[in-house]
């Protein structure tokens, strides 16, 4: 009977995710907010708690994180990262300072201490690469002059996550100073080694997973990704960081094939990951954090627009392009939830963290695409009227 109940609940969960994904496509938003809402509805304190699938969903959500970050790494080559670092390091620092600070300050004001401040800073700092890429594609802006500036900020954020996640993992695990320093050192060494290997021996890494047969190729890629993620986790480095670094090390042709083969699986397990985060958040705690989430949403929308504006200005883009770059970066999503998911495993994090992170991501994942569609045309229309009046 337990197996039958688990199958029924899993079937209902996957079908429900399909309905939510279809609805998100119809109304033109990312499915992430709807997946989170679905988790809230069927988790603790929700409308109809699911009790029989906990073991599967927890493991599936971990696989979802690994696949999310693996495919993120596959989007970049080592030369892209090195080039982006040289071109956009200043814009990356400005972006970090402007957008990590509000989250850290909010956590300190709420009495969550340095650990809560570190975790909340990551939630408000990092934009959603997945949402932003889809919005730029939907709006036909991939060839725009400001788009390289937007992508360079995303590259800097993703590269920074390779260091931020191990640091946060060590802090949340309450490791001592020396153990934490060792974890950060391992992450730095891994990052340097991966970049060197990818630049000089990318073909050899790709040969390990490559195969002319799709079935064998899929099994090899997933197997190596899970092995690397497991080893990284054993070393107290985030499993997701291990998968991200593996993605960077795979050469371009193999990376394209891996992206094509893995994308449907990534979408499936990532959806489960977002639902599981919602399942672990009590919706009854959300009303109390709405004022803080709204305040953070307003502040970090402005700071992210400022960061994008600065990055585009550095690239010599005109005024309208700077606005487009700024609003394109507003959305938060997968990385914010990955960071919040890490925080959920720590006893040192306040129980209010999960509801605040969930509410904030819900707001920003919807607000970002809406602003990208609305604000820039309005700004352009106003500019046109001013020119006409002149």
Residue 215 and residue 373: Cα distance in Å, rounded?
A: 40
Query: Residue 37 sits in which domain range?
Result: 19-380
- Count CB atoms within 10 A of the CB of residue 83: 13
Tokens of 363: 């707001």
What pLDDT score does 389 carry? 37
| Structure-block tokens of residue 117 | 């401040």
* Within-domain flag for 10: no
46 phi, psi to nearest 5 deg = -90, -170
pLDDT digits (tens, 9 = 90+) for 180-197: 677 777 777 877 777 777
| 3 found inside a domain | no
In a domain, 54, yes or no: yes
Angle ∠(283,106,331) on CA atoms, nearest 5: 70
Q: Which CA distances in Å does 171 have to 117, 160, 237, 330?
A: 11, 17, 11, 27
340 domain residue, yes or no: yes
Average pLDDT over residues 266-290: 84
Q: For residue 318, is it within any domain?
A: yes
The answer to whether residue 217 is domain-embedded is: yes
pLDDT at 381 over 60: no
Q: Which of 52-61, 95-104, 305-314, 347-356 has the lowest average pLDDT?
A: 52-61
Give the total number of structural domains in the chain: 1
Of 173, 177, 168, 102, the closest CA to residue 347 belongs to 173
* pLDDT surpasses 70 at 48: no
Quote the mean pLDDT of the chain: 82
Which pLDDT belongs to residue 324?
92
Measured CA to CA, the distance from residue 346 to residue 169 in angstroms comes to 9
What b/e sequence results for 351-374 when a residue is b if at least 16 CB atoms lie within 10 Å of its CB, and e otherwise?
A: ebbbbbbbbbbbbbbbbbbebbee
pLDDT of 388: 38
The pLDDT score that the predictor gives to residue 379 is 47
- Domain containing 374 — which CATH number? 1.20.1530.20
Task: Give the Cα separation of 386 and 388 in Å (integer).
Answer: 5
Is 228 within a domain? yes
Residue 304 pLDDT > 50, yes or no? yes
Quote the CA–CA distance of 225 and 68 in Å, as a whole number.
11
150 and 136 Cβ atoms separated by less than 8 Å: yes
For 56-96, the pLDDT digits (tens) are 777 888 888 888 888 878 877 767 666 666 777 899 899 99
In this prediction, residue 288 carries a pLDDT of 92
Q: Quick check: is 119 in a domain?
A: yes
């Amino acid at each position: 009977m337990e197996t039958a109940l688990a199958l029924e609940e899993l079937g209902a969960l996957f079908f429900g995710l399909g309905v939510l994904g279809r609805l998100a496509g119809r109304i033109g938003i990312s499915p992430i907010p709807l997946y989170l809402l679905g988790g809230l509805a069927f988790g603790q304190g929700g409308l109809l708690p699911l009790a029989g699938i906990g073991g599967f969903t927890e493991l599936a959500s971990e696989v979802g994180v690994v696949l999310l970050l693996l495919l993120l790494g596959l989007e970049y080559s080592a030369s892209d990262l090195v080039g982006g670092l040289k071109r956009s390091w200043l814009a990356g620092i400005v972006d970090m300072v402007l957008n990590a600070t509000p989250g850290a300050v909010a956590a300190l004001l709420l009495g969550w201490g340095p650990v809560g401040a570190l975790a909340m800073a990551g939630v408000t700092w990092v934009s959603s690469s997945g949402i932003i890429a889809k919005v730029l594609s939907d709006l036909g802006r991939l060839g725009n002059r400001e788009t390289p500036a937007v992508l360079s900020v995303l590259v800097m954020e993703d590269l920074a996550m390779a260091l931020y996640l191990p640091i946060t993992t060590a802090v949340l695990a309450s490791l001592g100073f020396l153990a934490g320093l060792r974890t950060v050192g391992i992450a730095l060494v891994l990052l340097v080694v991966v970049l060197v290997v990818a630049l000089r021996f990318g073909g050899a890494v790709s040969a390990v997973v490559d195969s002319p047969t799709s079935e064998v190729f899929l099994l090899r890629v997933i197997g190596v990704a899970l092995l690397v993620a497991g080893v990284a986790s054993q070393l107290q480095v985030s499993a997701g960081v291990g998968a991200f670094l593996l993605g960077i090390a795979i050469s371009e042709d193999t990376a394209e094939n891996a992206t094509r083969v893995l994308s449907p699986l990534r979408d499936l397990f990532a959806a489960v990951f977002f639902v599981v985060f919602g399942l672990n958040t009590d919706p009854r705690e959300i009303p109390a954090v709405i004022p803080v989430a709204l305040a953070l949403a307003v502040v970090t929308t402005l700071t992210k627009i400022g960061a994008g504006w600065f990055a585009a200005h550095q690239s010599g883009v005109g005024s309208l392009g700077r606005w487009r770059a700024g609003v394109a970066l507003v959305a938060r999503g997968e990385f914010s939830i990955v960071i919040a998911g890490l925080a959920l495993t720590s006893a040192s994090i306040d129980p209010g963290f999960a509801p605040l992170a969930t509410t904030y991501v819900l707001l920003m994942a919807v607000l970002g695409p809406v602003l990208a569609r609305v604000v820039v045309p309005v700004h352009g229309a106003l500019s046109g009227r001013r020119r006409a009046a002149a």
